[in-house]
Amino acid sequence: MSATLESLIEALRCLPGVGPKSAQRMAYHLLQHDREGAARLGFALDSAINRIQHCERCNTYTETSVCDRCQSDRRDTSVLCVVETPVDLNMVEQTQAYNGLYYVLMGRISPLDGFGPRNLRLEQLVARASDGLVKEVILATNFTNEGEATAHFVSELLKRQGLKVSRIARGVPVGGELEFVDSGTLAQALRERRRLES
């Protein structure tokens, strides 16, 4: 096997879930059946690596030093929503129920995997949340143990800066019938019930 082909196969293995066999299949496929696609892939990867960076304010991916959302003057600068990933950010955006700004952690704290606070850019979050305009930080990390651990650490960190911190609510989903809701969710919804004001 040529050295170039070998290094292509080796390079493809960096993708999650791709072992030596799949990498070899991909390499042969690209070379035999889709050279044009391979060229596009190579170009797209090259330009993505060179042009996509983290937004200086919200840490999400952007081609400019500050992303369009953070530059927009139609956003409410008094609330900052903290999410784990850009995908989570998109989900919150889709709700059209939130008009504030974001901070993307690009990960979560997972103690047993050795992934701790030092692996997240938390100094940048503290600086962002302390801009004087942010009045409330909403923690929208996942409701998994890792998401909770992350929320706990981040809330302790931000509360020490004198910031007001809140956590998104959890419970029975919209349109959810109790009969079909999983019992863990229902149990938590009962514990975190709220009083109806008269």
Q: Which residues would be at the binding site for another protein (CB under 8 A)?
A: 17, 109, 111-114, 116-118, 143-145, 148-149, 152-153, 156-157, 160, 182-185, 187-188, 191
Both tokens assigned to 23 = 């990498």
Nearest distance from residue 44's CB to another protein, in Å? Answer: 23
Show the beta-strand stretches assigned E in the chain: 53-54, 61-62, 76-83, 100-104, 136-139, 164-167
Question: Which of residues 71 and 144 has its CB atom nearest to another protein in the complex?
Answer: 144
Question: Which of residues 20 and 116 has its CB atom nearest to another protein in the complex?
Answer: 116
Nearest distance from residue 189's CB to another protein, in Å? Answer: 12
Nearest distance from residue 84's CB to another protein, in Å? Answer: 15
| Residue type for position 14 | C
CA distance 198 to 190: 20
Burial 156-176 (b: 16+ CB within 10 A, else e): ebbeeeebebebeeebeeeee
Question: Which of residues 4 and 183 has its CB atom nearest to another protein in the complex?
Answer: 183
Question: Which of residues 17 and 132 has its CB atom nearest to another protein in the complex?
Answer: 17
CA distance 106 to 100: 19
- Coil, strand or helix: which one is 175? coil
Nearest distance from residue 168's CB to another protein, in Å? Answer: 14
Question: Which of residues 75 and 152 has its CB atom nearest to another protein in the complex?
Answer: 152
Nearest distance from residue 167's CB to another protein, in Å? Answer: 10
